Amino acid sequence: MKKVKVENNSNLYRDAHTNAIVNTNSTEYKNYMNTLKHRKKELSKIKQIEDDVNSVKQDLQEIKDLLRCLIKE
């Protein structure tokens, strides 16, 4: 793989074959991966909270329906 240095950045190289930009700074890469992991974890928490809220809504609707049935009797 032939690497061509990117101007104005000592950590970036362009792969001459694929034309992709490659970051050779492992610390930046680790930080990026940690940020990505944290973001995925936060999205998972949000999804779980949404599911919990929907479940509570369904439970509340069932309770309301039961109360309506009791009032009719």
What's the CA gap between 70 and 73, in Å, rounded? 5
What one-letter code names the amino acid at 44?
S
Q: What is the pTM of this model?
A: 0.63
CB burial readout 29-38, b (16+ within 10 A) else e: eeeeeeeeee
What one-letter code names the amino acid at 61?
Q
Residue 3 is predicted with a pLDDT of 86
CB burial readout 13-24, b (16+ within 10 A) else e: beeeeeeeeeee
pLDDT of 1 above 80? no
Sequence spans of domains, the chain: 3-72
Residue 36 is predicted with a pLDDT of 97
For the stretch 30-51, pLDDT in tens is: 999 999 999 999 999 999 999 9
